[in-house]
Amino acid sequence: DAGITQSPRHKVTETGTPVTLRCHQTENHRYMYWYRQDPGHGLRLIHYSYGVKDTDKGEVSDGYSVSRSKTEDFLLTLESATSSQTSVYFCAIAGTSGGDTQYFGPGTRLTVL
Amino acid sequence: QQQVKQSPQSLIVQKGGISIINCAYENTAFDYFPWYQQFPGKGPALLIAIRPDVSEKKEGRFTISFNKSAKQFSLHIMDSQPGDSATYFCAASRGNYQLIWGAGTKLIIKP
């Protein structure tokens, strides 16, 4: 497995609270991604990063922000969680050695009550 | 133009049979077509991938067939086994480290 960890692995929170999910990689890959996965919607890109402090929006970025202060860490923040953000969140990485291949972390299951 | 359309949504195949999942795309700039396999509770993992300079790529029981003129590609799983039961995603990229994903196919192999 690619060296990708996500924390926490499970979280239950209440509507309106801030939540931060962490993705950590040991592969020194340049690109990092946050996806959400919901039944019937497949994988949807939230935000991605192409380098330290370089990030851009994906197709479902509303309500989410990200930060990347170090190559190895990519944080996803829900400023004020809503029930529609209940989902499984996956981090992925990609780098020049693998071309366009993305390697996924184990996922974080988030429940917003 | 950015979409990748995947079918079927779900598929049930008898053990030993051939599983076939299809994907179609519009953007002729795509030049990388991977298939990912996802087991419940796990992240997707790369299964096999192809570039448009070849029409077929085989790895063990898994084969990608690629039809450039029709803008279609498919995954064939020969001698399907219960352990192949998973969700399969096709994707496409134009070399910019962005993958455009199909919606996924839930495959069940009946023993």
Tens of pLDDT, residue by residue over B37-84, are 999 999 999 999 999 999 999 999 999 999 999 999 999 999 999 999
Decide if B93 touches A, using CB distance below 8 A.
yes
Under a CB-based contact definition with an 8 Å cutoff, are residues B105 and B77 in contact?
Answer: no
- Per-residue pLDDT at A1 exceeds 60: no
pLDDT for B97 equals: 83
pLDDT for A40 equals: 78
Q: What is the pLDDT of residues A18-34, one digit of tens each?
A: 999 999 999 899 999 99
Residue among B47, B99, B105 with most chain A CBs within 10 A, to mutate: B99
Q: Closest approach of chain B CAs to the CA of A16, in angstroms?
A: 27
pLDDT for B46 equals: 94
Decide if A94 touches B, using CB distance below 8 A.
yes
CB-nearest partner of A102 from B41, B96, B99: B99
Q: What is the 3-state secondary structure (H, E, C) of chain A?
A: CCCEEEECCEEEECCCCCEEEEEEECCCCCEEEEEEEECCCEEEEEEEEEECCEEEECCCCCCEEEEEEECCEEEEEECCCCHHHCEEEEEEEECCCCCCCCEECCCEEEEEC
pLDDT for A2 equals: 63
| Selection from A107, A109, A110 nearest residue A4 by Cα | A107
Neighbour tally for A50: CB within 10 Å: 16
Which of the two residues, B14 and B94, has the higher pLDDT score? B14
Under a CB-based contact definition with an 8 Å cutoff, are residues B97 and A98 in contact?
Answer: no
What value does the mean pLDDT take over residues B24-47? 94
- The model's confidence at residue B1, banded by pLDDT at 50, 70 and 90, is low
Decide if B32 touches A, using CB distance below 8 A.
yes
pLDDT for A14 equals: 97
- Per-residue pLDDT at B21 exceeds 70: yes
- Per-residue pLDDT at A98 exceeds 90: no
Which of the two residues, A105 and A41, has the higher pLDDT score? A105
Decide if B89 touches A, using CB distance below 8 A.
yes
Decide if B46 touches A, using CB distance below 8 A.
yes
pLDDT for A97 equals: 63
Chain A (48-77) residues lying within 8 Å, Cβ to Cβ, of chain B: 48, 50
Q: What distances in angstroms separate CA B69 from CA A2, B30, B64, B98, one per listed residue?
A: 35, 13, 16, 23
